[in-house]
Structures are given as C-alpha cells and as structure tokens.
Amino acid sequence: MKRLLIIALATVLACAFAPETLTTDEIMSRVVEAPVRSAVIDRNFTETRTSAKGESVTLSGRLEYKPDSYLSMTYDNGELFLIDGMKMTIRRDGKENLFDLNKNLMMKNLSHALLYSFRGTLVSLSQEQKTLIDARFDDKGQCVVTLRATKPSARGYNCIVVYYDARTYAIKSMRMDEFSGASTYYTM
C-alpha cells in the first residue's frame, strides 16, 4: 500500500512539473491572442541576406510595425522596405520600386509572410500559401513556428520559421528560405 502511494505521488509530481505539451493549434491560439499583438513595434533590427551561393551580407536599421498592415524597415545604408496596406515600396541602390499588392502575387506573398508573422496569424498564412505548419516550444524560451511548402516551386519560400518569446509571444526573429537556396534572417 505504501509503495502504491509513493508511485501515485511521484506520478502527480511528475505531471505537475512536466513541461506543458500543447498542440500546434493551441500554441497558435496563444500567439494570436497575446496582448502584444495590438502593440506598435519600433526597434532596431538586423537582417542577414544569404545568397544561393552562400555569400552573406548583414544589414541593420530601424523597424516599425503598426497593426495590422504597416511595416517599415529603414536600413542604415539608405535602403527602405515599406508595406503600407496594399502598397509596397522597396528602395535599393538608389532605385525605388513601387508595387500594388493587388496585382503582384509574389510581392503580396512576401508582404503576407512578414505581416502575418507580426500579427501571429501564421495558420492563415499556412492556409493561404498551402504549407504545413508546426509550432513547439524550444529549450531557449522560444515558441518556434515552422511553415514548410508541400511542393517545390520556381519562386517563393520553401520554409519560414518564426521565433516568438515563449512568455509574451512577441516576435523575436524569423528566417525565410527560398526555393532558390537564398535565405533571409531577421532579428529584433
């Protein structure tokens, strides 16, 4: 009897101190509902662009996000990446390109990948871009959400990984891997 009581007590204690196991849907629900989703973000960031050949360049600048459809990345080298509603502006090497996201699917997909990551609505992004989605907690205090393409494509992303703080669900970083082999990694 005493042995049974010890085993029962050990089981209860193990369950009480075991890390919480949540499904992807449960984790994503927490991400979307977090109070931080309605916050304006204004902070420094770095971006590492890696070409398909493995050559990397790291840039830094100021990032501003306003829920739900405004994201500005002003780079220290004068580059600009701006999403404002259904318009996108990219300024690089002194040349500015303007895109109507209603008419340019590739830029719309990029816009949605970034904005949905800040919004925490990666389930919607997964459905829209027909990917698999997996969310888990790692041992570094992060919630890691991975979207993987289900089939290869000439353009776009084969994998997007977004890292959120496991306590606040604030976005910390993200990596976007293209089918071409190029990759972009953002940290905030």
Tokens for 159, please give them: 């994998």
Mean pLDDT (whole number) for 133-137 = 98
- pLDDT, tens digit (0-9, with 9 covering 90-100), for 72-131: 999 999 999 999 999 999 999 999 999 999 999 999 999 999 999 999 999 999 999 999
Model confidence pTM above 0.75: yes
Query: DSSP 3-state assignment of 37?
Result: helix
DSSP state, 22? -
Tell me which amino acid residue 181 is. Answer: G
Strand order in the sheet with 70-75: 95-100, 87-92, 80-84, 70-75, 56-66, 41-50, 183-187, 171-178, 157-165, 142-149, 131-137
Q: What is the pLDDT of residue 6?
A: 43
From residue 68, alpha-carbon distances to 64, 65, 76, 100, 157 in Å are: 12, 8, 25, 17, 22
